[in-house]
Amino acid sequence: MATELINRKVVRVPEVNGLGIAKARIILEDAGLKKVAVLYREGYEEHDTVVDQRPARGQMVYETTEVVLWIARRGYLQHLPALYRRSDAVGHNVVRDLCFLFEHMFGTIAEKIEENARYYDPHTTPAEFLTWLASWMAFTVDLDWPDERKRALIKRAVDLYRIRGTKRALALFLKLFTGYEPTIDENVWPFKGFRVESEARIGIDSVILPPVNLAHCYVITVPVAFDKVTPELVLRIHQIVSMEKPTHTHYYLKFLEEEGDVELREFFVIGARSGIGIGAEVIEPLDGDR
């Protein structure tokens, strides 16, 4: 406890009288005073203008000290007939005190209603509302993104929907999510099929790939060496592609290959005695099979 008292910082209270409550909060926070309590006082100054503060300007206080601000409000009493606004001989008005009691209770709700429009603007809405705002347009944001990137993408969500499902959109989302700009080759597939020997039994000890329509296929190459690829990156890429690609299309994901000649294997030849996944071997295609 003694150590905490010694480490507390002492700051000078700034002058905020006459300022709006929003600007007053910013000035106090910049001075190091984070705890601010707001109370209402009947006055005819501009709405939510600070009319009094405690501690007063210039006092030296600890940064953990709570600053109390009184702001001008005409109160709910202004909506009542003049009969209820009269005070007694000593200046008391029970109705006024009761109205201010309710105003303190519901003041924060009234502030949110008055500032309702800012919750629908990606640049002004609080960070905790970004995911909710994105859901209005069925747009998904990554929790790991910085708030600035989330706001920029939500702002462009409608424009992005116009190109969704295209090669351009897929490359854009992959770059935004992973930081790498991929290369997407359309109407290609790295494998042309399996060749099964005559002694193999179809459906028992051999497997044949279904026919592939190249018009619905593409290869995505991410410019990162395979030995530097993490499982998290692979999962994220597959999630993005599954979310953004047209349902009827098929994709093949590849990374940068090691330096040197890379031999392309087009066929798998599986014999009756090999067994799938046990003794199968990969061989070069015969000239007549090309």
* CA atoms within a 13 Å half-sphere pointing along the CA-CB vector of 141: 27
120 vs 195, more confident: 120
- Cα angle for residues 32, 36, 40 (degrees, 5° grid): 150
Question: Taking all residues of the chain, what is their mean pLDDT, rounded to a whole number?
Answer: 77
Token readout for 217 is 């296929």
Residue 193: the pLDDT is 58
Q: Is the pLDDT of residue 53 over 70?
A: yes
Lowest-confidence pick of 80-94, 186-200, 242-256:
186-200
Contact (Cβ atoms closer than 8 angstroms) between residue 256 and residue 225: yes
145 vs 63, more confident: 63
**Largest distance between two CA atoms of the chain:** 113
Lowest-confidence pick of 83-92, 109-118, 204-213:
204-213
Mean pLDDT of 170-176: 86
Is the Cα dihedral 14, 15, 21, 23 positive or negative?
negative
Ordered structural domains, the chain, with CATH: 2-120 (3.30.10.20), 175-289 (no CATH)
Distance of alpha carbon 118 from alpha carbon 96, whole angstroms: 32
Q: Which residues contact 143 (CB under 8 A, 6 or more apart)?
A: 131
Contact (Cβ atoms closer than 8 angstroms) between residue 208 and residue 196: yes
| Range of 26-35, 68-77, 129-138, 185-194 with top mean pLDDT | 26-35
Q: Is the pLDDT of residue 248 over 80?
A: yes
In degrees and rounded to multiples of 5, residue 162 shows phi and psi of -70, -25
Token readout for 105 is 């209770």
Contact (Cβ atoms closer than 8 angstroms) between residue 133 and residue 116: no
Overall pTM > 0.85: no
Q: Give the residue from 274, 134, 131, 108 showing the smallest Cα distance to 204.
A: 274
Q: Is the pLDDT of residue 289 over 70?
A: no
Distance of alpha carbon 199 from alpha carbon 204, whole angstroms: 12
